[in-house]
Amino acid sequence: MSIPRNTKAKQAVLHEISSSDFALSQPEIFERVKGACDRVTVYRVLDRLVMENKIHKIVNVDGTINYARCTSCDESHTHAHDHLHFSCITCKKIECLEEQLIHVKLPDTYQIKELFLTISGTCPSCQAT
């Protein structure tokens, strides 16, 4: 494996993800770091950050892919992904509900790798309207 470098683009992308309280899509991230780097670079930086376990990938209920930094996950350990995600249909934001762990029991013939558990609905902020 190659030694990762701390580039301007990487810092910018990671900063936007870190300072957002919900998961961002690639277009959203590119919009926010506008000028800092190329569109393709954002894709490559995101892939690298995922591999380095700095961020994690969330698939939204509509198939769009978002990126977030789990608050309870430090760089030290891998993401278990055994927690729920809440996807608001109004503001499109995705939250990690890390206190909500799900336990699934399947026949031994199934080998489980990861759980992708997302609830769609209206989040507290949007419900207050």
Partner DNA sequence: TGCAAAACGCAACAATGTTGCATTAAATGA
Partner DNA sequence: TCATTTAATGCAACATTGTTGCGTTTTGCA
**Binding stretches for DNA (CB under 7 A):** 2-10, 25-27, 36-41, 43-45, 47-48, 63-65
By CB under 8 A, tell whether 64 contacts a copy of itself.
Answer: yes
Of 84, 81, 91, the closest CA to residue 124 belongs to: 91
* Residue 100, binding choice from Zn ion, a copy of itself, DNA, none, Cβ under 5 to 8 Å by partner class: a copy of itself
Other CB atoms within 10 Å distance of the CB of residue 24: 22
* Residue 20, binding choice from Zn ion, DNA, a copy of itself, none, Cβ under 5 to 8 Å by partner class: none
Calpha distance 87→96 (Å, rounded): 9
Q: Which of 17, 86, 94, 96 lies at the binding interface for a copy of itself (CB under 8 A)?
A: 86
Q: Which of 76, 78, 109, 129 lies at the binding interface for a copy of itself (CB under 8 A)?
A: 109
By CB under 5 A, tell whether 91 contacts Zn ion.
Answer: yes
Contact pattern for a copy of itself over residues 10 through 49, marking x by CB under 8 A:
----------------------------------------
Q: For the chain, how many residues are written?
A: 129
27-62: b (≥16 Cβ within 10 Å) or e: ebbbebbeebbeeebbeebbebbeeeebbbbbebee
Question: How far, in Å, are 44, 71, 83, 93, 129 from residue 12 at the CA level?
Answer: 13, 19, 27, 20, 33
Stretch that binds a copy of itself, among 2-10, 13-21, 42-50, 105-113 (CB under 8 A): 105-113
